[in-house]
Structure 1
Amino acid sequence: MSSDISYTTEEIAKMLKISKLTVYDLIKKGELPSYRVGKQMRVDAADLEAYKQRAKGTRTASIPVQAADNLPLSAAPAMNGVRPLVVTGQDISLDILVKYMEKGIPGVRPLRAYVGSLDSLIAMYRGESDIVSTHLLDGDTGEYNIPYIRKLLVGSSYMVVNLLSRQAGLYVQKGNPLGLGGWADLGRPGLRLMNREKGSGARVLLDEQLRLHSIRPQQIEGYEEEQTNHLGVAGKVASGEADVGVGIEKAAAIVGQVDFIPLIRERYDLVMLKKPENRAWIGALLDILRSEAFRKELQTIAGYDLSRTGEVLFET
């Protein structure tokens, strides 16, 4: 039955032959009811059909949808003088940042896309995102983010700004009954892992550490089992369905009944393309990141290091 069917934003974009940005904008404005399953926004078939019927009955309602057809997200036209900005990433700090952007940057409408770090950079390369958050470790250099950005955004002019730093490491069962203490322990026979999805920063961190410690993914039970966020991984470890997972400290505190072993301080950065039309909002965004009000709000969340927040780390 149609009441049992739901669609992702990507599926809706293909069916209506519009850009994903238009779908996000319809959701943002309340014209297309949605709900989140993991990192995905979903829309029920009945709600989609109701929107289509309304659009057919109102000639002007179809104009913004058609105007964005086949355009990359960041190239979509402003609607009613307001430019949509797609902000990718999953950390709660981004939701707080978007709130400040809505109040402090006139003429823009920030839209959240819950996408992993690597996929976010690929989306920026394709012109499908405006502000990308990323925490990708390059195991050979020990550097976060910039090695990946330089490879993926070849030919682009961009700016890398720090949002925050945070501890990453291993989730283990309460009391750490297996005595796990570091990356090398992931090679133990019989250890059950809960993984993250491909393209996420935690997945890249795990794969880099396995490579550096000469551990073959195929020898780890559960390597192919995936969750789409840190809370899901921590929850599987807490319930006993897995012995270990990779993630950030904050999720362990939220889930409870799971211990956290900090192993690395990861840098969580923002990437923005330095196009002429972006200059005004980039300057306003930097002001927000460096403001006392924004920092004070982030300071209420345990586990964040804000010592470099708002610092331009790399610029072409």
Structure 2
Amino acid sequence: MTTKEVADLLRIKERTLYELCAEGVLPVTRVTGKLIFPRATLMSWLRQNTDYGRNLPSLKDHPPIVAGSHDPLLAWAVRASGSTLATYFNGSEDGLRQMKAAQALCAGIHFHASDNTNANVVLTKSELPYESIVLIEWAKRNQGLVMRPELAGKCETVADIAGRKVIMRQKGSGSQVLFDSALRQAGLSRTDVETVAEIARTESDAAQAIANGHADVGFSIEAAARQYRLAFVPLAVERFDLVIWRRDYFEEQMQRVLNFSRTEAFRRHAAELGGYDISGNGTVHYNGG
């Protein structure tokens, strides 16, 4: 863009534009004494210097991060699809916080409610009201007790884990919320089980800790139990959803992941991991904004 075009865009005089360039405020390319403004660079500068206010996270440029709850199938698909997206898995509640702060373009969530309401939709609406987001189904997963192989047949219910060394999940994770609910239904509390100091932040972390002998039992998904050759007792089937900014949904990085989830390679890997039902993959459960 020329100096006149940029001055017109910013509604300032060309002299003021030259002064801003001299001060190093604006991105500019100098060619044989002339100032050239690459359009893409200038537009990026404008976005970076826009005050979006505290309540307009959907308008910001979102970092290429998939946040929220950990899912082995999702983590694999992000890599295998060549999306170049990064992952930061720290639980469902944290995922919505990252979205609310515009610190991620997508978050995986799996919330649970005792009255069987659609908790994923309810909490997404509550945390991101009126925002331009979509909530789509990734997969349904088998959740339950993961334990050392020799405990198979000895821990068939949550009540059977009393006195066992149990590894907990981080506060705010969907798995921990479901585990706490299962404990209450069994008439137990955390004081009735021997919790280890270690906290598992992902499905795989929980299974790995048990495989390494740090705990006897934990709460995770069937795929993680199978990965580490552990015993598994299913207690619930949950729906794992993705919250995505609508604008980012159509961008190349996210589309690579979503398109990949419709391939035979994806279906084959889900079957190999075990404990997944991907028949509803891609179903839109909420369209906000």
Q: Which amino acid aligns with 2:143?
A: A
Quick one: which of 124, 140, 149 aligns to 1:165? 140
How does the TM-score come out when normalised to structure 1? 0.63
Given the superposition, is the C-alpha separation of residues 236 and 286 from structure 1 closer, same or farther in structure 2, using an over 3 Å criterion?
closer
Shift of 1:218: 2.9
Structure 1 residue 132 and structure 2 residue 107: aligned? yes
Report the counterpart of residue 236 of structure 2 in structure 1. 264
Tell me if 1:90 matches 2:70.
yes
Q: Secondary structure at the match of 2:195?
A: coil
Residue 152 (structure 1) aligns with: 127
Distance 2:51 2:80 in 1: 30
Shift of the 147–183 alpha-carbon distance from structure 1 to 2, 3 Å rule, reads farther
Q: Aligned pair in 2 of structure 1 residues 101, 216: CA closer, same or farther (>3 Å)?
A: same
Instruction: Please say if residues 63 and 104 of structure 2, whose CA atoms lie closer than 8 Å, have aligned partners that are also in contact.
Output: no
3-state SS of the aligned residue for 1:234? Answer: helix
Alpha carbons 1:165, 1:268 under 8 Å: kept: yes
Q: Following the alignment from structure 2 to structure 1, what is the Cα–Cα distance between the partners of residues 187 and 107?
A: 31
Aligned residues of 2:143 and 2:220 also touching (Cα < 8 A): yes
Q: What is the DSSP-based 3-state SS (H/G/I as helix, E as strand, rest coil) of the residue aligned with 2:171?
A: coil
Q: What are the equivalent positions in structure 2 for 1:160-309 lying under 5 Å apart?
A: 160-176=135-151, 179-186=154-161, 188=162, 190-222=163-195, 225-256=198-229, 258-274=230-246, 277-278=247-248, 280-281=250-251, 284=255, 286-292=258-264, 294-309=266-281
Tell me the secondary structure at the aligned position of residue 85 of structure 2. Answer: strand
Alignment length, in residue pairs? 237
Normalising by structure 2, we get a TM-score of: 0.68
Paired position in structure 1 for 2:40 = none
Q: 2:90–2:201: 8 Å Cα contact kept in structure 1?
A: no
- Supply the RMSD in Å over aligned alpha carbons: 3.4
Matched-pair contact (CA < 8 Å) for 1:101–1:110: no
Q: Distance in 2 between matches of 1:295 and 1:141?
A: 28
* CA distance 1:299–1:176, change in 2 (3 Å): closer
Aligned sequence identity (%): 27
* Unmatched 5+ stretches in structure 2: 1-43
Query: Cα deviation per residue 1:109-152 (whole Å; 9 max; x = unaligned)?
Result: 52222322221111111211111111222223264522322222
Rate the CA distance shift 1:100–1:225 in 2: closer, same or farther, 3 A. closer
Contact 2:60–2:102 (CA under 8 A) maintained in structure 1? no
Seen in structure 2, the aligned counterparts of structure 1 residues 202 and 170 have a Cα distance that, compared at 3 Å, is same
Given that 1:131 and 1:270 are in contact with CA atoms closer than 8 Å, whether structure 2 keeps it comes out as yes
Following the alignment from structure 1 to structure 2, what is the Cα–Cα distance between the partners of residues 250 and 299? 10
Q: Structure with the greater relative contact order (CA < 8 A, sep ≥ 6): 1 or 2?
A: 2
User: Shift in Å at residue 273 of structure 1?
Assistant: 2.7
Q: What's the CA shift for 1:184? A: 3.5
Inter-CA distance 140–224: structure 2 relative to 1 (3 Å threshold):
farther
Amino acid paired to 1:140: D
Q: 1:137 aligns to what SS in structure 2?
A: coil
> Secondary structure at 1:271's aligned position in 2?
strand
Deviations 1:79-107 (A, max 9, x none): xxxx742212432322343346646xxxx
In structure 1, the residue corresponding to 2:250 is in which secondary structure? helix
Cα contact 1:74–1:129 (8 A) shared by 2: no
Unpaired segments ≥5 residues, structure 1: 1-62, 78-82, 104-108
Kindly tell me: are residues 134 and 230 of structure 1, through their superposed partners in 2, closer, same or farther at Cα, counting changes over 3 Å?
Answer: same
